Protein backbone atom coordinates (compact mmCIF):
# COMPACT_ATOMS: atom_id res chain seq x y z
CA UNK A 1 0.00 0.00 0.00
CA UNK A 2 1.14 3.51 -0.79
CA UNK A 3 0.41 5.80 2.14
CA UNK A 4 2.77 8.53 0.95
CA UNK A 5 0.33 10.65 -1.05
CA UNK A 6 -1.84 11.72 1.89
CA UNK A 7 0.59 11.86 4.79
CA UNK A 8 0.10 8.29 5.91
CA UNK A 9 -3.54 7.91 4.91
CA UNK A 10 -5.51 6.29 2.13
CA UNK A 11 -9.17 6.82 1.25
CA UNK A 12 -11.39 3.84 2.00
CA UNK A 13 -14.66 3.58 0.10
CA UNK A 14 -17.33 1.56 1.86
CA UNK A 15 -19.82 -0.18 -0.40
CA UNK A 16 -22.82 -2.22 0.69
CA UNK A 17 -21.89 -5.78 -0.28
CA UNK A 18 -25.50 -6.62 -1.06
CA UNK A 19 -27.07 -3.54 -2.63
CA UNK A 20 -23.93 -2.00 -4.14
CA UNK A 21 -24.72 1.39 -2.57
CA UNK A 22 -21.71 3.52 -1.74
CA UNK A 23 -22.19 4.20 1.96
CA UNK A 24 -19.30 6.40 3.06
CA UNK A 25 -15.69 7.32 2.50
CA UNK A 26 -13.26 7.36 5.40
CA UNK A 27 -9.51 7.39 5.75
CA UNK A 28 -7.26 4.61 6.97
CA UNK A 29 -3.64 4.55 8.04
CA UNK A 30 -1.73 1.28 8.04
CA UNK A 31 -2.92 0.51 11.56
CA UNK A 32 -6.58 1.11 10.69
CA UNK A 33 -6.31 -1.15 7.65
CA UNK A 34 -4.61 -3.85 9.72
CA UNK A 35 -7.32 -3.55 12.39
CA UNK A 36 -10.02 -3.73 9.69
CA UNK A 37 -8.52 -6.93 8.30
CA UNK A 38 -7.90 -8.54 11.69
CA UNK A 39 -11.18 -7.66 13.34
CA UNK A 40 -13.42 -7.94 10.31
CA UNK A 41 -15.00 -4.56 11.08
CA UNK A 42 -14.32 -1.35 9.17
CA UNK A 43 -11.97 0.81 11.21
CA UNK A 44 -10.77 4.28 10.25
CA UNK A 45 -8.33 6.92 11.31
CA UNK A 46 -10.09 10.07 12.46
CA UNK A 47 -8.27 13.13 11.15
CA UNK A 48 -10.06 15.40 13.59
CA UNK A 49 -9.63 13.25 16.68
CA UNK A 50 -6.26 11.81 15.61
CA UNK A 51 -7.23 8.31 16.66
CA UNK A 52 -8.56 5.02 15.30
CA UNK A 53 -12.29 4.45 15.40
CA UNK A 54 -14.35 1.45 14.51
CA UNK A 55 -17.51 2.48 12.74
CA UNK A 56 -20.49 1.60 14.94
CA UNK A 57 -18.51 1.18 18.13
CA UNK A 58 -21.06 3.31 19.95
CA UNK A 59 -24.16 3.00 17.72
CA UNK A 60 -23.80 -0.74 17.13
CA UNK A 61 -24.08 -0.13 13.39
CA UNK A 62 -20.81 -1.84 12.59
CA UNK A 63 -19.72 -2.66 9.09
CA UNK A 64 -18.78 -6.34 8.74
CA UNK A 65 -16.11 -6.70 6.07
CA UNK A 66 -16.90 -9.08 3.23
CA UNK A 67 -14.16 -8.09 0.82
CA UNK A 68 -11.27 -5.64 0.54
CA UNK A 69 -10.17 -4.57 -2.94
CA UNK A 70 -7.09 -2.61 -3.82
CA UNK A 71 -6.85 -0.12 -6.65
CA UNK A 72 -4.24 -0.11 -9.41
CA UNK A 73 -2.07 2.54 -7.71
CA UNK A 74 -2.31 0.84 -4.31
CA UNK A 75 -3.39 4.13 -2.76
CA UNK A 76 -7.11 3.44 -2.20
CA UNK A 77 -9.16 0.54 -0.88
CA UNK A 78 -12.72 -0.50 -1.57
CA UNK A 79 -14.34 -2.31 1.33
CA UNK A 80 -17.46 -4.31 0.63
CA UNK A 81 -19.34 -4.65 3.84
CA UNK A 82 -22.53 -5.80 5.45
CA UNK A 83 -24.40 -3.32 7.65
CA UNK A 84 -25.03 -4.56 11.15
CA UNK A 85 -27.32 -3.10 13.81
CA UNK A 86 -29.97 -0.73 12.55
CA UNK A 87 -28.14 -0.52 9.25
CA UNK A 88 -27.92 3.24 9.15
CA UNK A 89 -24.38 4.22 8.29
CA UNK A 90 -24.55 8.00 8.49
CA UNK A 91 -24.52 9.90 11.76
CA UNK A 92 -27.51 11.87 10.40
CA UNK A 93 -29.56 8.66 10.58
CA UNK A 94 -29.58 8.06 6.84
CA UNK A 95 -28.68 4.71 5.32
CA UNK A 96 -25.77 6.26 3.42
CA UNK A 97 -23.66 9.37 3.85
CA UNK A 98 -24.34 10.20 0.19
CA UNK A 99 -27.95 11.20 0.46
CA UNK A 100 -27.89 14.64 -1.10
CA UNK A 101 -27.88 15.28 -4.82
CA UNK A 102 -25.75 18.04 -6.25
CA UNK A 103 -26.65 17.48 -9.88
CA UNK A 104 -28.84 15.23 -11.89
CA UNK A 105 -28.77 14.74 -15.63
In the three-class reduction of DSSP (H, G, I as helix; E, B as strand; rest coil), residue 64 is classed as strand
Measured from the CB atom, is 66 or 84 closer to a second copy? 66
- Least Cβ distance, residue 5 to a second copy (angstroms): 7
Q: Burial of 91 by CB count in 10 Å (0-12 exposed, 13-18 middle, 19+ buried)?
A: exposed
The count of residues interacting with a second copy (CB under 8 A) is 39
What is the DSSP pairing of strand 43-46 with strand 10-16? unpaired
Query: What is the closest distance, in whole angstroms, from the C-beta atom of residue 60 to a second copy in the complex?
Result: 19
Build a one-symbol-per-residue string for 21-60: x at contacts with a second copy by CB under 8 A, - elsewhere. xx-xx-----------x--x------x-------------
Q: Restricting to residues 62-101, which ones interact with a second copy according to CB under 8 A? A: 65-73, 76-78, 90-92, 94, 97-101
Question: Smallest gap, in angstroms, from Cβ of residue 51 to a second copy?
Answer: 16
The closest alpha carbon to 97, from 34, 49, 44, 51, belongs to 44
Provide the β-strand partners of residue 81: 16, 65
Amino acid sequence: MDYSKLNGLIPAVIQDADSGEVLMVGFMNDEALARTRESGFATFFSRTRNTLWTKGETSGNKLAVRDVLLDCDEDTVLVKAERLGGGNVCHTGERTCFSRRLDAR
